[in-house]
Amino acid sequence: MENSVLIFDEEKSLFISEPWQCGEQNNRQSNIIFRKEGNEDLVIEFKETKGVFTHEIDHFIDLLNKKETQSKKISHADSHGNMIWLDAWRKKVGVYYSADNAENRDFSLLGKSALKQRGTIPSAKMKGLDKEVSRVVFGCDNQSGSDHAFAMFDHYFSLGGNTFDTAYIYNNGKSDVYLGRWMNHRGLRDEVVVLGKGAHTPDCYPHLIRPQLEESLDRLKTDFLDIYCLHRDNLEVPVGEFIDALHELREEGLIRLIGASNWSLSRFSESIAYSETSGKDSFSLLSNNFSLARMLEPVWPGCESCSEDDFKEYLKEKQIAIFPWSSQARGFFLENPKI
């Protein structure tokens, strides 16, 4: 099958006869032909003495000898981008391998012992949970596929992490699905803490919490969530109605702890007061923006910070755990913001 590339517009074209292996299957000969209307063809001939992969290996060894971490010919980002698009391309044309199904791998890419001989990411106890919560939480919203998710989850767990943050809306539900497949295939449900979220705007209403939670549980293939947070607040709904709905789900054993994400101090404190007077479960944690840099404008609509002094004092007084998002201020403190 011919493998060539033709790039053209109305006046000129560029033809590459052997784009993949540069003539490796043609006695190491290949060419590039530049055609322009009214001009003779410009043919650039190539005759290689060694293969493409040999060039790559030699270049890599040269970088090692110079103690350089990145090639000047192609950046890590470009290499990664090439791999992503090549992978997408071959799947688009219908080329799949058994390894594309992450469950077909018998053990972690890190080795059979990686999930047992784990690192030491620090953890803490939370009242109401029978297992500790790692202080570094894995956000599950950006996994490109099950193979990528399994590799990332394996690595995080091998370092000592055990807490995964997912949500009903993340990745059109795939966030839940990938996490569920991973923890069930690895047999780790009893060892991990699953923090789920639901009722994101515009579906932030008490009567929509249950159906979204039940769908997330089905995706995750689990009977309960260790922690469940309201993803947003709806100022048109009395806080008591949210607490009542969450209390009912907790009484049924579908969730262990309840929390809120992106709630203001006034609404959050009002909810705690309602729980105290009604005798119903209160929020055990808050997941707002919290970092050394102040959020001047919401990163997304409906986002709230809890970095202000009065908010911090209130959380300290009530002993409310903070699960901050964007704790590094989205790279604000990086010397090179392009990293």
Domain-located, residue 338: no
**Which whole number is the average pLDDT over 227-234?**
98
What pLDDT, on the 0 to 100 scale, is given for residue 338?
63
List C-alpha distances in Å: 53 to 3, 21, 24, 25, 46.
Answer: 18, 9, 10, 13, 16
Structure tokens at 235: 């100022």
Decide if 260 is inside a domain. Answer: yes
Question: Do residue 89 and residue 112 come from a single domain?
Answer: no
What CATH number did the domain enclosing 286 receive? Answer: 3.20.20.100
* pLDDT winner (highest mean) among 66-70, 106-110, 273-277: 273-277
Residues 314 and 206 placed together within one structural domain of the fold = yes
Would you say residue 197 lies in a domain?
A: yes
Structural domain includes residue 218: yes
Asked whether residue 25 falls in the same domain as residue 160, the answer is no
Total domains in the chain come to 3
Q: From CA 168, how far away is CA 213, in angstroms rounded?
A: 8
**Helix boundaries (H) for 230-264:** 239-251
Task: Answer yes or no: is pLDDT of 3 > 90.
Answer: no
Question: Are residues 97 and 176 both part of a single domain?
Answer: no
Residues 59-74, buried b or exposed e (16+ Cβ, 10 A)? eeeeeeeeeeeeeeee
Q: Quickly state the pLDDT bin for 49 (edges 50, 70, 90).
A: confident
Looking at residue 50, what is its pLDDT?
Answer: 82
Distance (Å, rounded) from C-alpha 244 to C-alpha 39? 79
As a whole number, mean pLDDT of residues 3-31 equals 86
Q: Express each pLDDT in 245-302 by its tens digit.
A: 999 999 999 999 999 999 999 999 999 999 999 999 999 999 999 998 888 888 889 9
Is 117 or 189 the better-scoring residue by pLDDT? 189
Q: Taking 70 as the threshold, does the pLDDT of residue 337 lie above it? A: no
Per-residue confidence band for 147, with pLDDT thresholds at 50, 70 and 90: confident
pLDDT of residue 53: 84
- Residue 107: what pLDDT? 66
pLDDT for res 209: 99
**Residue 27, pLDDT score:** 82
Residue 288 covered by a domain = yes
Residue 181 lies in a domain: yes
Helix (H/G/I), strand (E/B), else coil: 139? strand
93 shares a domain with 52 = no
Residue 172 has pLDDT above 70, yes or no: yes
Under the banding of pLDDT at 50, 70 and 90, the label for residue 1 is low
What letter would DSSP give residue 291? S
Higher pLDDT among residues 182 and 338, named by residue: 182
- Confidence grade of residue 105 (pLDDT, cut at 50, 70, 90): confident
DSSP 122: -
**DSSP β-bridge partners for residue 321:** 285
86: domain range?
A: 74-101
Question: Can you tell me the mean pLDDT for 319-327?
Answer: 94
Question: Does some domain include residue 155?
Answer: yes
Where a domain ends, among 23, 52, 72?
72
Q: Give DSSP secondary structure letters for 23-84.
A: TTTTTTEEEEEEEETTS--EEEEEE-SS-HHHHHHHHHHHHHHTT-SS-SSS-HHHHHHHHH
**Rounded mean pLDDT, 154-171:** 96
pLDDT class for 208, splitting at 50, 70, 90?
very high
Residue 191 has pLDDT above 70, yes or no: yes
**Is 339 among the domain residues?**
no
